Structure 1
Amino acid sequence: MSIVNVGIIMNGVTGRMGTNQHLIRSIVAIREQGGVACKNGVVIMPDPILVGRNEEKLKSLASKHNIARWSTNLDECLSDEHNIIYFDAQTTVRRAEAIRKAIKAGKHIYCEKPTAVGLEESLELATLAYKAGVKNGVVQDKLFLPGILKLKRLVDSGFFGKILAVRMEFGYWVFEGDWQQAQRPSWNYRKEDGGGIISDMFAHWRYVLDNLFGNVRAVSCIGATHIQKRVDEEDEIYTATAEDAAYATFELDGGIIVQANSSWAVRVNRDDLLTIQVDGTEGSAVAGLRDCKTQHRVNTPKPVWNPDIANPISFLDQWQEMPTNDVYDNGFKVQWELFLKHIVLDEEFPWDLLEGAKGTQLSDLGLESWKERRWVDVPELTIGGTLNGEKVKAAKS
């Protein structure tokens, strides 16, 4: 057995997502399990250095989780040859500048999404990484959720027959912050700080739809700022300048129609915070974050419209739960392990910065559709074209 220590610069892990999902439930968990054991006898051991602007937070976080290294100086971390990966979980408006620095320093890149505030910048990062020859990846965590994995198994098995339509419901009530503390940071509701549910969630919907059902070809979207005034972390009232809800329709390859509602101003009356219903000629399924239930063609009830009598069918009882035949680990951790294998063993990792740019593209086009009140086509996205006047060879399409 040989141990490969991998230095990882972790920038922005003092935030909620960075601390809980990427640090504690991913990197710390991997270290506590003894690293990532590979088939060839290699064990990959992550060696993180926590980077941020708040010295006290960094020091406390490092001490609590037995991490020896932390710093408030990103440039020094980038100059250390031991650190071969740069990870970014900062707010979106800060991400691109730091990733550019890391690419210039020759670091492999792994980051949260959206990768940048707009398509042009996201595509620039993908192109820079390709030109520099550094490996890169983007967090696409929902692909590794148990419910989504069960749904993918149904798609791959042909359970649905011809897929006709998909209905996605996401969201929950985010408290305004006055009489009860908000459970999301205030920057989410300020457009000038990179907030807005379209830029946040459409990056997710793009990779979920592309990977499960087919490439997104067109979008129609309307957004709304339902809650106009909120209270921030300092108990100050502020005006929400970004949308807190989006109602979209997507057209996919093969004519599949997707309706996707995303809202931070909705009270939940469904099985989970995210539910995805897929209807096909041979059967249907409804997936949540962990569970998935199905209804085959032969088990479909035959309702008849008659509002004059009580409904005789208990529709919710007509679905069958899929068994949990696998052991599912934390989705963020699973993708971290795959990325570490990609870096050390050169194993396949398809979720790169170009895939991240596709998410930003869909967000931009959703905002354009809302502004212009029309359907917008989603063109093919490639690394290539012109960057700073220089022709760049396409890496993939």
Structure 2
Amino acid sequence: MSETRVIRIAMNGITGRMGYRQHLLRSILPIRDQGGITLADGSKVTVEPILIGRNEAKIKELAELHGVEQYTTDLDAMINDPSVDVVFDASMTSLRYDTLSKAIAAGKHVFTEKPTAETLTEAVDLARQAQMAGITAGVVHDKLYLPGLVKLRRLVDEGFFGRILSMRGEFGYWVFEGEIQEAQRPSWNYRLADGGSMTTDMYCHWNYVMEGIIGTVKSVNSKTATHIPTRWDEKGEPYEATADDAAYGIFELETPAGDEVVAQINSSWAVRVYRDELVEFQIDGTHGSAVAGLNKCVAQQRAHTPKPVWNPDLPVTESFRDQWSEVPANADLDNGFKLQWEEFLADVVAGREHRFGLLSAARGVQLAELGLQSAAERRTLDVPEISL
């Protein structure tokens, strides 16, 4: 029996919400506890996390809680530790470029949250650094691994929609101001100087969702807003919200077949949810339509499409939601973050490029920059192609 290879992962920013819940608790620890993953050649690889954070007491508590042997506040020491194979970063966006640059220079493989940098220039530079270093770099594209979007992509691949006409997305929920009820998101999210911004946060996601399901983003027209001008921080102190808490975007897409598709995506932390899930995407095509959330996907074929007639004088008696059919998973789909981690680790062992790398992340940063510029200038902007 072949020996199981152990990949040591320095996990930076692990005390944050995403770093802890999705990457440590729901991805790396389950991979460790299940005995690793079996690769295509039959060999096995498992993981050994090293927890890194600024609060030593907190990371020590997490390490003891989850049976993790090593933890530290010294990120640089772990980056330069020859026994470390992968550096993962889920810390603040403003620190990410320096962290990833150091890790790449040290010859480490990198896996990171988004955005990968505060500017397009830095994001492209990171992609160049990784290419020159020959390391495997992965960027979290978790939404493409979610059951709902996996089903939606399958419908695209099977030609269910015919010619795709449009895509629309609704994302968001009410984030409490923090005065009476505690806010569900950290206060830096709403301060521009600290890297906050709905556009900066979410357009990098929407870019890979649109790319991964339909095609290339060719233009953007965006409107931003700061609907809640005053919020309260973690200490209960009021502060001015200088970052946009909502972004309303219209995007022109091009499919691999050359068809033009119009996408509309609304993102808001000042909206109350009247949807089945916190994010939903609808695709309409000549032969059918589908709506997907994080888990569920429903579809309506052309032959099953009803023929409503507009009549404001009569109450609606039909249930439009009941006219859609649920799309089956036809497979057991694990946590999206965990699935991408497993794919990335297999790429690390094989020494190959990860399909969602730093160049894909740079396109997300580019779309966020153009979205903010579009809103400021009140005009539609083309999205230029990025090359290394």
Please state which band the TM-score falls in when normalised by the shorter chain: over 0.9
2:281 aligned with 1:280: no
Shift in Å at residue 347 of structure 1? 5.2
CA contact (8 A) 1:2 1:41 kept: no
Deviation string for 1:240-293 (max 9, x for gaps)? 010000000000012100010000000001111001011000000010110000
Aligned to 2:138: 137
Give the residue type in structure 1 aligned to 2:343.
L
| Secondary structure of the corresponding residue to residue 256 of structure 1 | strand
Aligned to 2:368: 363
Deviation string for 1:10-59 (max 9, x for gaps)? 10011011000001111101001001112323111111111121110111
Aligned counterparts, 1:100-119, within 5 A:
100-119=101-120
Q: Distance in 1 between matches of 2:82 and 2:163?
A: 52
TM-score normalised by L of structure 2: 0.97
Aligned to 1:165: 166
Q: Distance in 2 between matches of 1:204 and 1:365?
A: 14
TM-score normalised by L of structure 1: 0.95
Q: Distance in 1 between matches of 2:326 and 2:228?
A: 37
Give the residue type in structure 2 aligned to 1:358.
R
Aligned counterparts, 1:158-307, within 5 A:
158-253=159-254, 254-307=259-312
CA contact (8 A) 1:276 1:287 kept: yes
Shift in Å at residue 382 of structure 1? 1.2
Deviation string for 1:185-243 (max 9, x for gaps)? 11110111111110111000000100110100000000000001001111110110100
Q: Distance in 2 between matches of 1:293 and 1:39?
A: 33
Q: Which residue, 318, 321, 331 being the options, matches 1:316?
A: 321
CA contact (8 A) 1:86 1:110 kept: yes
Aligned to 1:85: 86
Which is worse superposed, 37-46 or 230-239?
37-46
Aligned to 1:390: none
CA contact (8 A) 2:253 2:262 kept: yes
Deviation string for 1:71-91 (max 9, x for gaps)? 111222122111011110001
Q: Distance in 2 between matches of 1:314 and 1:344?
A: 52
| Secondary structure of the corresponding residue to residue 222 of structure 1 | strand
CA contact (8 A) 2:136 2:352 kept: no
Aligned to 1:387: none
CA contact (8 A) 2:136 2:351 kept: no
Give the residue type in structure 2 aligned to 1:151.
L
Aligned to 1:26: 27
Gaps of at least 5 residues in structure 1 are 384-397
2:338 aligned with 1:337: no
Shift in Å at residue 312 of structure 1? 3.4
Q: Which residue, 352, 360, 363 being the options, matches 2:357?
A: 352
Shift in Å at residue 179 of structure 1? 1.0
CA contact (8 A) 1:221 1:246 kept: yes
Aligned counterparts, 1:120-135, within 5 A:
120-135=121-136
Give the residue type in structure 2 aligned to 1:278.
I
Give the residue type in structure 2 aligned to 1:244.
D
Shift in Å at residue 7 of structure 1? 1.2
Give the residue type in structure 2 aligned to 1:48.
P
Count residues in correspondence.
383
Q: Distance in 1 between matches of 2:146 and 2:76?
A: 35
| Secondary structure of the corresponding residue to residue 344 of structure 1 | helix
| Secondary structure of the corresponding residue to residue 85 of structure 2 | strand
In percent, how many aligned pairs have the same letter? 54
Q: Distance in 2 between matches of 1:165 and 1:344?
A: 40
CA contact (8 A) 2:137 2:353 kept: no
Q: Distance in 1 between matches of 2:196 and 2:107?
A: 30
| Secondary structure of the corresponding residue to residue 4 of structure 2 | strand
Give the residue type in structure 2 aligned to 1:350.
R
Aligned to 1:2: 3
Q: Distance in 1 between matches of 2:317 and 2:73?
A: 65
Give the residue type in structure 2 aligned to 1:80.
D
CA contact (8 A) 1:31 1:45 kept: yes
Q: Distance in 2 between matches of 1:138 and 1:150?
A: 22
Q: Distance in 2 between matches of 1:225 and 1:39?
A: 49
| Secondary structure of the corresponding residue to residue 50 of structure 1 | strand
Q: Distance in 1 between matches of 2:29 and 2:120?
A: 33
CA contact (8 A) 2:56 2:72 kept: yes
